[in-house]
Amino acid sequence: MSPLAKEVIDVLGKEEDNNLLAEVLDFYGYLKAKKRKEEDIKWQLVKEDEATDEEVDIINRYESNKTDNSISLDMLTKELGI
């Protein structure tokens, strides 16, 4: 886990306002969906070009090994105890 993620979890873990925590979680979900959509659009544009064999290989490896490096909402709520 990155130092920034740990810091965010620590700060939010000390927060007592449930409404604020709910807003943060909602915004986190929004940002995650937005970034995923932007990433998908970029990959779609790459696919529309006439890709070289190397580019096709890179795209195929990326799509078969998609990993989500972000913190899951479940993990965040568990860490915050909500």
10 in Cβ contact with 71 (< 8 Å): no
- For residue range 25-58, list pLDDT tens digits in order: 999 999 999 999 998 888 787 666 777 888 878 8
**Taking the alpha carbons of 41, 74, 81, 5 in that order, is the dihedral positive or negative?**
negative
80 in Cβ contact with 13 (< 8 Å): yes
DSSP labels, 21-35: HHHHHHHHHHHHHHH
> 58: which 2 tokens?
């890179």
**pLDDT the model gives residue 43:** 77
CA-closest candidate to residue 9, choices 58, 63, 53, 75: 75
pTM (two decimals): 0.49
